[in-house]
Amino acid sequence: MFLSPGRALSSIRYHLLMVFTAGLVLTPVLMVHAQGGDLTGTGGKHKIQGRIYFPSGRRSDATSVRVNLESSSSEKLSLVADLNGNFTFNAIAPGSYNVTVDAGKDYEIAREFVNVEGSGIRSRSMSGADLARADVARIFNVIINLQLKRSAAGKSRPAVLDAALSTVPPPAVELYDKAIVAIRAGDSKKAIELLQSAVSYYPEFTIALNELGIQYLALDQPDKAAGVLERALRIRPDDFNLLLHYGMALLKKNDALGAEAQLRQAVKQNDDAWQAHMYLGITLISLRNYAESEKELLRTLLLGGDELSLPHYYLGGIYWGRRDYRRAADELEKYLKLAPKAPNAERTRASIKELRTRQS
C-alpha cells in the first residue's frame, strides 16, 4: 500500500531505489519490464523470450526496435526491445506464433516461428533435450539475427560502426570481436577480460570502453562502469551512448546530480531517444523535480510507445503525490498490465485499490 499523501513522493524515491536494487532498470542482461516485457500474454503459462543481434554483433543505435507476437488464435502482442535487444512475452498459451522484429528502414524484417504445444514449446532451433515435462511452464529462448537490407549491405558491419573501427589497430578489433561473441553467449566476465585487453592495446578505443561499462553494469558494478565511461567521455565528450550509459551508472551509484547532467547532455545529442528521456525522468524524481519529470516520462511514452511500463509506474507516483487519485490509479493499472509479474505487483495492486476508493 502506498504511504499517506504527505509522504507520497518520498515513497516514490524509495521505490526508485528498490527498482535499481532489484536490477529491473539498469542491468542489460536481465529482462527490463520497461523495455522488453512483460505483457499480459495469451492466457497460458509459457514464456517466449529472446535477444536481437545486429550484423555487427552489437546492440542497436536505433531508439526503438519493435517486436510483435502474432497468432491466428489471439490478438497481436507488441513491445519494444530493451537497450540490449532483449524481449519477453509471458503467459503464452499453446498455439502457433510468429515473432516479428522491425528494426527500421536499414534492416530486413526478421521472423521466427514458434509452436507452443501442450507438450512444450518447440521450434526449428530447439532440441528435444530441452523439452521438460508437459505440466511444467516452459521458456523458449529465441535468437534473432538481423540482416541489412541489400541497399545497405555493402559491408559486414553497419557503416557507422565499420568507419569507427577503421582507425583501430586490427589486434584490438579482434579482441573486441571476441568480446562480442562472449556477450552473445551471456558471458560478461569473459567479455570484460577481452575488452580490457582491447583497451590496453588501444587506450582510445571508446567503443570498447562503452561496451566495457555496459558489462560492468550487467554485473552490478556501477563504480567500475562509471570509471571506464568517464574515461571514454574524455576522448569523445559528445558521444550519445557514452553520455547515456554514464548517466545510468551514476544514477545507480545514487549520484542523481551527476546523472542529471549527463542525461541532459544525452538528450541534447539525441532528443528522439526515449531511453535518455526515461532515465532523466527517473533521475528528476530523486531530485524532487516532479513537474519536469512528468514531462520527460510523457515524452518517453510518446517516443517509445505506450508499451513501456516503468514510465507509467513513476507517473502514477507523481499523480498520487498530487492527490490526483484517478490518474494515479490509471497509470498504475497500465503498469501492471504491462508488468503483471513485477516484484512490486501485489503492493501496487493494493495501492490501486486504495486509490480507487479515494478518487471520489
Q: Which CATH class is domain 33-149?
A: mainly beta
What interhelical angle do 345-358 and 325-338 show, nearest 10?
150
What is the model's pLDDT at position 221?
93
Question: Is the Cβ–Cβ distance between 207 and 17 less than 8 Å?
Answer: no
Q: How confident is the model at residue 315 (pLDDT cuts 50, 70, 90)?
A: very high
**Residue 45 pLDDT class (50, 70, 90 cuts):** confident
| Domain assignments of the chain as residue spans, ordered by start | 33-149, 220-358
Average pLDDT of the chain to the nearest whole number:
79
Buried b / exposed e along 310-331 (16+ C-beta atoms within 10 A): bbbbbbbbbbbbbebbebbbbb
What is the distance, to the nearest Å, from the Cα of residue 186 to the centroid of all Cα atoms in its chain?
Answer: 16
The pLDDT score that the predictor gives to residue 286 is: 93
Domain 33-149 shares a fold with domain 220-358:
no
User: What are the helix (H) ranges across 93-221?
Assistant: 159-165, 170-184, 188-201, 206-218
**Is 220-358 a CATH 1.25.40.10 domain?**
yes
Beta bridge mates, 116: 95, 121
To the question of pTM greater than 0.75 for the whole model, the response is no
